[in-house]
């Protein structure tokens, strides 16, 4: 009987010892899980909100700043008050000289005029030259395409009259044809500028002429920057028709019952000075001086630039400035895409 009681006592002690060992082992495992933040498979995280998972945050990669301005000892000296040179292929800015300052830009205004017309109008639509337009050009001492009152031309032909001989008369005809009035068209130009973040740009007319108050002072509100003009032109050149027009050296329009015969030559003499030139637009007023927005392609590499107020007396200085920048820019090593 005593042996049976002893045997029973031994079995109870063994069971108690096994239970204590199991509890001890479980405690160790749970402690380790809590310490490391790991929850065993099938267990529940009582600290998390019901039905949610809290993943570890993914670390953001450290951005590598892109090359924006090439540092090669600086661009060569030029006479322009402001200049900008942009690599269209990579988006890199090769030269920036006072390029954010708003300045008068004369007929380089017509880059915006042409682009708004191309994007808004039916190019086959016709427009008639009003009798008041020659007087407008004469009053403001503007350049013209010698459009004759009463002639009816297509929007497409008027774009050549606008961009090649820099026709202020063509600018007014186009503005009225597209928007009903010059003022309404200027509103379209300014909205386009804002939409494309050209914040140093504003227009008061579609041609770039200087308007004066009763005391002979230039009216404010018509300006752009070298940077804005280059960026606008880079966008415009992506339009095949715009690129075709500004790359045309001369344009002949044969006589028809609706209009006389016209011959328009491009005012951009950079074509003669720098053979790789592909466009774009000249400009001049007394306030703006001689200006130029230009583009060139060499070895399938495309640069666009602006020079504002290269001179107030020498029409060719803007072309020399542009050539200097292009030769320097094409000589730089190709940068990674911006």
Beta-carbon contacts of 273 under 8 Å, excluding residues fewer than 6 positions away, are 319, 320, 323
- Asked if residue 281 belongs to a known ligand binding site, the reply is yes
Percent of the chain predicted with pLDDT > 90: 75
Would you state the pLDDT for residue 10?
Answer: 52
Lowest mean pLDDT among 8-12, 114-118, 148-152, 300-304: 8-12
Q: What are the extents of the domains in the chain?
A: 82-330
Helices and strands per DSSP (H, E), number in the chain: 10, 9
Among all residues, which ones are annotated catalytic?
107, 110, 166
Cis peptide bond prior to 185, omega within 30° of 0 = no
Give CA–CA dist 288/310, Å, rounded. 9
This prediction's pTM: 0.79
Give CA–CA dist 85/69, Å, rounded. 10
Paired strand residues for 281: 293
Report pLDDT digits (tens) over 210-237.
999 999 999 999 999 999 999 999 999 9
Give CA–CA dist 39/45, Å, rounded. 7
Would you state the pLDDT for residue 201?
Answer: 98
What are the tokens at 216? 């002979």
- CA separation, residue 28 to residues 17, 23, 36, 42, 43 (Å): 17, 9, 12, 18, 16
Average pLDDT, the chain: 85
Would you state the pLDDT for residue 336?
Answer: 73
Pick from 161, 170, 174, 169: nearest CA to 266: 161
Q: Which residue has tokens 């069971």?
A: 15
Percent of the chain predicted with pLDDT > 70: 78
* DSSP designation for 218: B
Would you state the pLDDT for residue 67?
Answer: 35
Region 2-14 average pLDDT: 48
What are the tokens at 128? 């008639």
- Architecture of the domain made up of 82-330: 3-Layer(aba) Sandwich (3.40)
Burial of 303 (0-12, 13-18, 19+ CB in 10 A): buried
Tell me the pLDDT band of 91, cut-offs 50, 70 and 90: very high
């Amino acid at each position: 009987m005593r042996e049976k009681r002893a045997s029973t006592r031994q079995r109870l002690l063994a069971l108690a010892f096994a239970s204590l060992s199991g509890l001890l082992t479980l405690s160790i495992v749970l402690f380790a899980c809590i310490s490391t933040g790991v929850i065993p498979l099938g267990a529940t995280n009582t600290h998390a909100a019901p039905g949610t998972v809290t993943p570890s945050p993914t670390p953001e990669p450290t951005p590598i700043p892109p090359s924006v301005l090439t540092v090669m000892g600086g661009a060569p000296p030029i006479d322009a008050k402001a200049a900008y040179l942009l690599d269209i292929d990579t988006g890199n800015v090769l030269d920036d000289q006072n390029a954010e300052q708003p300045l008068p830009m004369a007929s380089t205004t017509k880059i915006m005029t042409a682009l708004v017309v191309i994007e808004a109008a039916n190019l086959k639509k016709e427009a008639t030259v009003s009798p008041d337009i020659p007087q407008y050009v004469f009053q403001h001492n503007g350049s013209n395409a010698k459009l004759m009152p009463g002639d009816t031309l297509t929007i497409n032909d008027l774009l050549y009259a606008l961009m090649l001989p820099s026709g202020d008369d063509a600018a007014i005809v186009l503005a009225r044809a597209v928007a009903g009035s010059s003022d309404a068209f200027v509103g379209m130009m300014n909205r386009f500028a804002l939409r494309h973040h050209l914040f140093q740009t504003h227009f008061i007319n579609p041609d770039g002429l200087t308007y004066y108050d009763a005391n002979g002072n230039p009216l404010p509100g018509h300006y752009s920057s070298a940077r804005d003009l280059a960026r606008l032109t880079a966008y415009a050149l992506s339009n095949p028709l715009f690129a075709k027009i500004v790359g045309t050296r001369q344009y002949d329009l044969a006589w028809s019952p609706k209009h006389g015969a016209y011959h328009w030559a491009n005012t951009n003499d950079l074509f003669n000075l720098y053979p790789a030139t592909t466009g774009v637009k000249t400009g001049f007023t007394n306030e703006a001086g001689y200006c130029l927005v230009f583009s060139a392609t060499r070895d399938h590499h495309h640069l666009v630039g602006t020079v504002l107020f290269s001179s107030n007396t020498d029409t060719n200085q803007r072309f020399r400035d542009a050539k200097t920048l292009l030769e320097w820019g094409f000589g730089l090593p190709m940068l990674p895409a911006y």
